Structure 1
């Protein structure tokens, strides 16, 4: 797949669909790579859109990079630069969970690059804040304290990044344990700053400043409760609220349920995209 250097790091991407139709860029949740939402992208491409799927920094086969004060902010800046480099801006921006956070930041700070937002499984609540702080940052601080960079390289996530992109081991080794820990602590502090909002990562006042059209599809599990999506919908001035999986489940993350619901989610997105496109003509 193509590789583009963005802000000093290499991102891997793929464009699904042909022609000159509008681009929909998809940012998955967690630290998952482009493969996780490729099926969604293919369904959007079948409907006539071009779907850009990509590995964000620290996901898939992209480079490891721990710069800045906020992981979501770094990823939002990366996406803006990638869209500009590929000549795809403005684009429709779709994001799930952590991908929704970076998508909202992009729309807040660079509305000229965003035609509309497709958000699903928005994160919020005390349970999500505690779980994600551990999953994203604290477990790696524990690993580096226990066994240095070698212990970090042996964790499931970073071992996967090295397996997909062997140059990532050299990046971690060059960074060293002390710098790795300092950067991870900085990102943890940045995460905590916004984790207490109804929509993790953005204050309600910031959400109210986002004027682009938005579709908000509620989540159904403990990390992505419907209440977070409802809060986003109330704050975003040009949003529509939908449910695809309406029955709450007692799981941290309902991976299986949402994988099975991909065709239904795609249909909801396609309806919104076609409506937005028609209104622009």
Structure 2
């Protein structure tokens, strides 16, 4: 797959479809582009040009820990990627952590976003504790107990090194002390926004996002229904659609959501086509 250097990091990407309005998809967690490629293919088959990509620190892209907030850095990376590819304003879709970065992009760079498509929005105290461990604390513990070699052996970073061997040299240059400092900096940035109804943005910031949005809430411990409902209440120009009708007592309901890929795609395509029709009707 092609890669392009964005803000000092090589990001791997793929464009699905030959034409039509641009849609970019940002997955949840630290998952790579393959996790939502099936969704992207369905959107492309419906006439949209879909950008899927490995964010910094995911998939085969480069490792890097700039700034004070991972989600803010991911939003700035996405802006630079869209500019480098010459997409113009795009429909921006995001799941979980991808929803956070999408909201931040819309807040700080609304000119780059035509509308938002957000699903499995994150929030609540359980998600805040669990994600702090998943994203940062487990890797801090590995570095402090076994140095950068231990970090490189963790499941996440071992997979990134296997996909992109250059990532091992990036970790080596950073060293255990530099890595721990970066993780603690990002952990502090995460905690600054983790207590809001929608993790990552204050209610006041959410209300300032006037762009059209479609919200599809989650149904598990890390993506409970309440943050999606809060996003709908706070975003002044949003629609709300439920796909999962029952809540489940698991951290992430991966299998059930994968089975609903076609339903989610249908919801997105309906929203996108209505937005396109409105755009054509405007003088």
The TM-score bracket by the shorter chain reads over 0.9
Would you say 1:191 and 2:190 are equivalent positions? yes
Q: CA RMSD in A?
A: 0.4
Report the counterpart of residue 85 of structure 2 in structure 1.
Answer: 86
Report the counterpart of residue 13 of structure 1 in structure 2.
Answer: 13
Report the counterpart of residue 274 of structure 1 in structure 2.
Answer: 273
Structure 2 distance, partners of 1:244, 1:144, is 40
The total of aligned residue pairs comes to 280
Q: Alpha-carbon deviations, 1:181-216, whole Å to 9, x = none? A: 001000000000000000000000000000110000
Structure 2 distance, partners of 1:77, 1:236, is 21
Q: Alpha-carbon deviations, 1:159-191, whole Å to 9, x = none? A: 000000000000000001111000100000000
Structure 1 distance, partners of 2:248, 2:129, is 19
Structure 1 distance, partners of 2:71, 2:161, is 22
Report the counterpart of residue 233 of structure 2 in structure 1.
Answer: 234
Structure 2 distance, partners of 1:248, 1:193, is 28
Structure 1 distance, partners of 2:8, 2:193, is 27
Structure 1 distance, partners of 2:71, 2:168, is 23
Structure 2 distance, partners of 1:226, 1:239, is 16
Q: Alpha-carbon deviations, 1:49-100, whole Å to 9, x = none? A: 0110000000000000011100000000000000000011200000000000
Would you say 1:161 and 2:160 are equivalent positions? yes
Structure 2 distance, partners of 1:202, 1:247, is 27
SS at match of 2:91: strand
Report the counterpart of residue 95 of structure 1 in structure 2.
Answer: 94
Structure 2 distance, partners of 1:2, 1:142, is 34
Give runs of ≥4 in structure 1 deviating > 3 Å. Answer: none
Post-superposition offset of 1:246: 1.6
Q: Name stretches of at least 5 consecutive residues in structure 1 with no aligned partner.
A: none
Report the counterpart of residue 123 of structure 1 in structure 2.
Answer: 122
Report the TM-score, using the length of structure 1 for normalisation.
Answer: 0.99
Structure 1 distance, partners of 2:31, 2:18, is 25
Q: Alpha-carbon deviations, 1:126-169, whole Å to 9, x = none? A: 00000000000000000000000000000000000000000000
Structure 2 distance, partners of 1:267, 1:118, is 12
SS at match of 2:117: strand
Report the TM-score, using the length of structure 2 for normalisation.
Answer: 0.99
Report the counterpart of residue 22 of structure 2 in structure 1.
Answer: 23
Report the counterpart of residue 177 of structure 1 in structure 2.
Answer: 176
SS at match of 1:198: coil
